[in-house]
């Protein structure tokens, strides 16, 4: 199934006037048809510019043979401050909902899973990809329902069971597609990864059944790391600053919850919170780096750039919550 290209979110930012859009040449080996089973057409990238502090040299257009514009420059553009504020808002929602229990946590979790599914497909150049996004989101919804139906001792089993079922379903859906083999492989890769990410995001819901304080501290650490990473300083400096800030946020959050609330591996209270914050902050940096790749559009930054820092931190938060229980 094919769908029109997305022609809006790749528009470059200009402070005055406007430029006509330039044609682009797809990279060698890039599928030109819609991947089977996802309802998406990989759009051709348009010219991009860095949109945040600490950005490096942005992609530009240079005319190649025949006058066709080609992308040159650095393909990694950090999301910047606006997506960081979006991540912070979601993190605060998780931190506030965690002490209220798992049913309260479902509300921000559903938003995270929806943005994760949409952002991952757009990051892979597949849009609108309605079927793939819907399938990935339904996988996350199934994981949420399974976790709400079981007690704390069976959360890992519930997550693995949901993941196995949806992996098989995604594979079967792709086998029914009659597109070109390379397009089916492209769609299968994106579909499987999006499904895994939305199911893993439910790790926050599983963690809150063990130790809610860990969820609060981990979410606060991710929000702090995202905001500090957007500070207009050189990349290595902001990375170190983000990790330090995440560790400090984890320490403070655990301290407010009580020194006895979190303990593992001989660590307790503030020390355990600092380790938790640093791990969650490291996961957030990986998510931000992933969302920065390949001349992303504004829509990529405002979906994948917002969601991936929290989504990739969910498994670490869940593992530490089980150790602290």
- Tens of pLDDT, residues 138-169: 999 999 999 999 988 899 999 999 999 999 99
How, if at all, do strands 40-41 and 127-128 pair?
antiparallel
| CA-based end-to-end distance of the chain | 47
Is-contact 78 230, C-beta < 8 A?
yes
pTM to 2 decimal places: 0.75
User: Rounded distance, CA 91 to CA 231, Å?
Assistant: 18
pLDDT band, residue 128 (cuts 50/70/90): confident
pLDDT band, residue 313 (cuts 50/70/90): very high
> In angstroms, how far is CA 323 from the centroid of its own chain?
25
User: Rounded distance, CA 154 to CA 152, Å?
Assistant: 6
Q: At what angle do helices 102-123 and 270-291 cross, to 10 degrees?
A: 30
Q: Which pLDDT score is estimated for 47?
A: 42
Strand partners for 62? 70
Quick one: which of 103, 126, 136, 280 has its CA closest to 209?
A: 103
User: Rounded distance, CA 126 to CA 116, Å?
Assistant: 14
Q: What is the pLDDT of residues 73-120, one digit of tens each?
A: 667 888 989 999 999 999 999 999 999 989 999 999 999 999 999 999
CA-to-CA separations, 131 to 35, 41, 137, in angstroms, rounded: 11, 12, 10
Tokens (6 digits) for 175: 């086998």
- Among 52-56, 152-156, 250-254, name the one with the lowest average pLDDT: 52-56
Q: What is the pLDDT of residues 292-310, one digit of tens each?
A: 886 667 888 999 999 999 9
Between 149 and 63, where is the model more confident?
A: 149
Helices and strands, counts by H and E, the chain? 11, 6
Calculate mean pLDDT across residues 166-186: 82
């Amino acid at each position: 199934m094919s769908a029109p290209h997305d022609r809006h979110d790749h528009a470059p930012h200009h402070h005055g006037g406007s430029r006509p859009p330039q044609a682009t040449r797809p990279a060698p080996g890039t599928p030109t048809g819609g991947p089977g089973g996802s309802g998406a057409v990989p759009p051709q990238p348009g010219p991009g510019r860095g949109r945040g502090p600490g950005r490096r040299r942005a992609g530009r257009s240079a005319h190649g043979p025949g006058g066709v514009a080609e992308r040159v420059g650095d393909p990694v553009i950090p999301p910047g401050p606006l997506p960081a504020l979006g991540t912070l808002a979601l993190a605060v929602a998780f931190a506030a909902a965690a002490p209220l229990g798992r049913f309260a946590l479902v509300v921000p979790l559903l938003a995270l899973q929806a943005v994760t599914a949409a952002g991952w497909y757009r990051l892979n150049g597949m849009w609108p990809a309605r079927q793939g996004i819907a399938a990935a989101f339904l996988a996350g919804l199934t994981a949420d329902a399974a976790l709400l139906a079981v007690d704390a001792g069976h959360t890992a089993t519930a997550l693995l069971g949901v993941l196995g079922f949806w992996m098989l379903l995604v594979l079967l859906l792709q086998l029914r597609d009659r597109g070109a083999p390379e397009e089916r492989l492209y769609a299968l890769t994106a579909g499987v990864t999006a499904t895994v990410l939305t199911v893993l995001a439910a790790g926050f819901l599983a963690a809150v059944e063990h130790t809610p304080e860990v969820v609060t501290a981990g979410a606060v650490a991710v929000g702090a790391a995202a905001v500090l990473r957007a500070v207009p300083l050189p990349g290595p400096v902001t990375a170190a600053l983000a990790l330090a800030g995440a560790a400090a946020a984890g320490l403070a959050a655990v301290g407010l919850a009580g020194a006895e609330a979190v303990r593992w591996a001989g660590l307790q209270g503030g020390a355990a919170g600092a380790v938790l914050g640093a791990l969650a902050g490291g996961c957030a940096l990986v998510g931000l780096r992933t969302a920065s790749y390949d001349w992303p559009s504004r829509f990529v930054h405002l979906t994948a750039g917002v969601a991936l820092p929290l989504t990739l931190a969910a498994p670490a938060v869940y593992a530490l919550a089980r150790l602290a229980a």
